[in-house]
Chain A
Amino acid sequence: MSARLLGILFVMGSVLSEAFSHVAWKRAADASHPEAGLARALWTALRQYRMIGLGVGLFVVQAAAWTLALRYLDVSLAYPVGSLEFIAVVLLARIVLKEKVAARRWLGAALIVAGSVVIGLS
């Protein structure tokens, strides 16, 4: 396997682990009532130990995968590929959390990825 392909696989691992960590924390945050006060909402979310722990664990995996990716890839390539996270999060929110994603939101996420690719080229 080439170093470039290995690096891209690590970036994809980083993207997926971060996206799933957001989903885990969203699950924890959803334990509170939407109209709850800020202090109560935070306290309720922090007490969802399993989801909070899963999110933190996945975030550590993400950091490790990203660090490894940067050993094999230039930042100018890793950065745009990593921006696929914006699509992955919207996709997981749609599938796992059943959020309604309008066409306008998909288009917005796609523009952000396109912008990140252009920034990566600069």
Chain B
Amino acid sequence: MDVPSPPLRVRVPPVVWIGLGAVILLDTAVQLVWKSLVLRVPPEAGLGETFVVAAGQPGFWLLVGLFGAMACNWLLLLAKADLSYIQPITALSYVTVAASSALVFGEEVGLVRIAGLALVLAGVWLISGTGHRTAKADALAGASS
């Protein structure tokens, strides 16, 4: 007699992976645009002048648009998965921001930083192997039974 074995891990729907990918891409883009705006501010500028100079550039509105896209994408992800699943996985942007800063701005990434990024990657890998939705699924199962 065949006895079905329980699944080793719950399948995460593509919409969640695509949403998480979008979080990482948008977050990396925000950091790069933000940094490029701040680079044009004189070093001696105060907080107010920094904002005025940054907001006066065309890239500022790109930044605002990116923030809006991030907010909408985040709400959609929250509707599809646990907060405790998706939020730690966004730490992947540490890795993408470090890599793109090295490529775009020529920033140095030393061995210690690479070790830290490896720990972040290991943590994200561990979390990605857990169920993506628990509380809401339980509530719905309870309501339908």
> Which residues of A are at the interface with B, using a C-beta cutoff of 8 A?
22-23, 25-26, 28-30, 32, 34, 36, 38, 41-42, 44-46, 86, 89-90, 92-94, 97-102, 104-105, 107-112, 114-122
Contact = CB atoms under 8 A, between A and B. Distances in A.
Contacts, number: 146
Contact of B88 (A26, A46, A108, A121): A108
A93 to B, nearest CB: 4
Task: Please tell me the size bucket of the interface on B.
Answer: 35 or more
Contacts of B123: 107-112, 114-115
A78 to B, nearest CB: 15
Interface of B: 15, 72, 74-76, 78-80, 82-85, 87-88, 91, 94, 110, 112-113, 115-127, 129-131, 133-138, 140
Secondary structure dominating the interface of A: helix
Secondary structure dominating the interface of B: helix
